[in-house]
A and B are shown apart, each in its own frame.
Chain A
């Protein structure tokens, strides 16, 4: 089975990177690939819970991540970045895995394709 890892480095709602990363992750999982979605740097802000899109024209990044998790995408948030962005485990969307750089390195090393947003 083809294994793809998608890395998001940018905070959501400031650019199209977050929704694009999620779109590719959902596309991959639908094509029977093994998909990892990895948040690092300010990208870990995508994994914040309680994102409220009411009254805006944005698509909810939080809902997209929940869809990914429901469909079997493994979603990781890098631990040091979470600390820097002051995101505690209770702030995280359920199902997002806090991971150290060793674990993330292992995931990337075993991936056939790595896409960076």
Chain B
């Protein structure tokens, strides 16, 4: 399962999505202001894969670190197609 997060870490939407991902052992994909989660501890507690859209990271001056895998749009489409279930965008 893949959960897509576009909201800033300090929003209820991002909080709800993280709780859901942890509960369901899902992977997460971070886009738009969701990429700010890459520097947060919470993203390291995710059992599944953690993806972040490289374009949105570059715009915001962020560099991928830790368990985050940087992807582009084509890869995002492939990952969504390859996932059994996709939920988003929080």
Contact = CB atoms under 8 A, between A and B. Distances in A.
Contact of B60 (A10, A41, A45, A86): A45
A14 B33 contact: yes
Interface string A3-14: 000000011111
A51 B59 contact: yes
Interface residues on B, range: 10 to 19
Interface in B44-63: 55-56, 58-62
B55 A50 contact: no
A52 interface: yes
Interface in A40-68: 41-42, 45, 48-56, 58, 62
A48 B8 contact: no
A13 B61 contact: no
A13 B32 contact: yes
Interface residues on A, range: 20 to 34
Given A42-B9, A86-B39, A12 B55 contact: no
A54 B59 CA distance: 8
- Give the 7 A-B CB pairs with smallest separation, nearest first: A14-B33, A48-B61, A50-B61, A51-B61, A86-B39, A52-B58, A11-B8
15 contacts: A11-B60, A13-B32, A13-B56, A13-B59, A13-B60, A14-B8, A42-B8, A48-B61, A50-B61, A56-B59, A58-B59, A85-B36, A85-B39, A86-B40, A91-B61
